A and B are shown apart, each in its own frame.
Chain A
Amino acid sequence: MSERGAIREFLLAFADDEHLMGQQHTEWIGVAPFLEEDLAFSSIGQDELGHAAMLYELVLELDGIEPTDTAVDTLAFGRPSHDYRCCHLVEYETKDWAEALVRHWVYDAFEAMRWHLVTGTSMPKLAAIARKALREEVFHTRHADALLDRLLAAPEARSRLLAALDAVVPMVPGLCEGTAGEAVAVAEGAAAGPTAGLLEPLLVAIDRRFSAAGLDGRSVGSACVGGPSAGGAANGQRGRTSRSPDFEPLMARMREVLDYDSEAVW
């Protein structure tokens, strides 16, 4: 893989994760537990979609395409599914708000680490986006932490959140899976290290976050190993080139209006 191609894959994975995570937050607007949460999810969703748009622009620039809104949308919505580089965690259709909250916390903990990987990147535009995003991530993490602090202290909520953790944790290795050629991108200075290097600190962070309230015998680390969707090659993401069963229905929903009339400008 060329150096440009390796950097492109790295950026595309980042952009696709942000896009689908933002998309998933939009599903919770108006149906969160109370009005303040509707507002929070909406605001966080906008931030993530904004990051996605800026990252897609960088991909387009690498491709030598002018990054207009139309070009961004073509890239964001118009690829065959095997050309997406998102992880299964952001494709996952949550079953309840507990899963949405746990995923929100886990994703944002990972996202902050990922942005830190690129604050010293050789790509000035990416570094600028990282600085902006990290300012926003402080609020995202604070939001999820504030809720978890209180909810984990309540017995029923705690048991729901631990069940949600059981659903989310097996997808964590996939979240930290890099793209093909990532070592080349790192060697080129696009990032300070590989995405896979974030798995260990992320698992430690998850354990610290949830074990304070007791994990009832769970081990966050071992939940990632050996399960049906455990990390690395075993989870079938193949360098983020495979899609989970939730991807196609999600993308069909996202594309419904676009597919109504391919000539249309909306």
Chain B
Amino acid sequence: MARSWATMEDFEAFLDGGGLVEADDDMPDAYRRAVFAFIEMHANSELMGALTERDWIPKTPGLRHKMAVLAKTQDEIGHGHLLYMIAADLGVKTRTQMLEDLFAGKSRFHNVFHYRAVTWGDQVAIAFLVDAAALISQQAVFKNCSYGPYRRILRRIITEEGFHMRLGEDRMMRIAEGTARQRGMFQESLDRWFWPALQLFGPDSVPDDELLRWRIKSERNEVLRDRWVQRFVPMLQSYGFTVPAPDLRWDTEAERWDVGPIDWEPLRRTLAQGGPDSARRIGEAADNWQHTAWVRAALSDGNGSGA
């Protein structure tokens, strides 16, 4: 049964008590918009991630390998599909509006998908580094998220993302044990993708971050980013790859890796749709959407199934 709260203080007390908000609750508008924007960006990122990987799917080296890669991309699109549904249930935008805003360059998606995968090594680096970064973020949201529908869907997404990361790790290990040419290719991919993957977590959270206050997120960006660094720096080194951070050092006192200062300018550019591949990625997606408009128009039956 739908619940309502007289004041924001009452609502926040409900959240502080561990309450879960449901779609039909009369939630404060600010919360509704914040949780919607967060899920919309997640949905957009699943879809744009699939498009980034798509460039290399037809070139996957091996028949059963290609089936595994297809299954992964199918999962990503499936995640987008579920996320757009729960985002639409919040009543801020329909799924069609969300997609059209995305293809018009009006809404955000993760920084990493503003870059282009230019080699097969990049495809593996995405499955390994980027999926792991996304997984760390999603696990942190799932742990304590106050929005019930999102939390329930994250359980499934996290399970599947775990498989993707293992697929990426397995492919990375084959390359690590492979020929000099393969290793060289993957090192170049690491040089391209290490920093964008690290920046996926965003800059340090601001002190009064409402996403944290409302338990839409449950851990600060810098904590999540550090978790990824501590895990991936030694792993990459153990496979004989070089972490492309000139100021990388082992802090003997804190017993942890320090990647040095982070240049946030590339992230800012992607947020303004000005990343290295933003124009092509969004433009091609918009063209595809336009070229298939006749199908959606023909299927349009008022329930949104055609879009």
Contact = CB atoms under 8 A, between A and B. Distances in A.
A72 B63 contact: yes
Given A38-B77, A42-B77, A264-B178, A257 B60 contact: yes
Contacts of A27: 58
Contacts of B182: 261, 264, 266
B3 interface: no
Interface residues of B, number: 47
Interface in A21-39: 23, 26-27, 29-39
Given A151-B299, A160-B294, A29 B288 contact: no
Interface of B: 47, 50-51, 54, 56-67, 70-71, 73-74, 77-78, 80-81, 84, 120, 171, 174-175, 178-179, 181-182, 185, 288, 291-299, 305-307
A266 B171 contact: yes
A261 B295 contact: no
A156 B295 CA distance: 9
Nearest to B76: A30
Contacts of A257: 56, 59-61, 120
A46 B71 CA distance: 8
A266 B174 contact: yes
Interface string A24-62: 001101111111111100110110011011001000000
B64 A53 contact: yes
A43 B185 contact: no
Contacts of A31: 51, 54, 288, 292
Contacts, number: 144
17 contacts: A26-B66, A30-B50, A33-B293, A33-B296, A35-B47, A35-B81, A53-B63, A69-B62, A150-B299, A154-B298, A156-B297, A254-B58, A257-B59, A257-B61, A257-B120, A260-B120, A266-B175
Interface string A197-237: 00000000000000000000000000000000000000000
B82 to A, nearest CB: 10
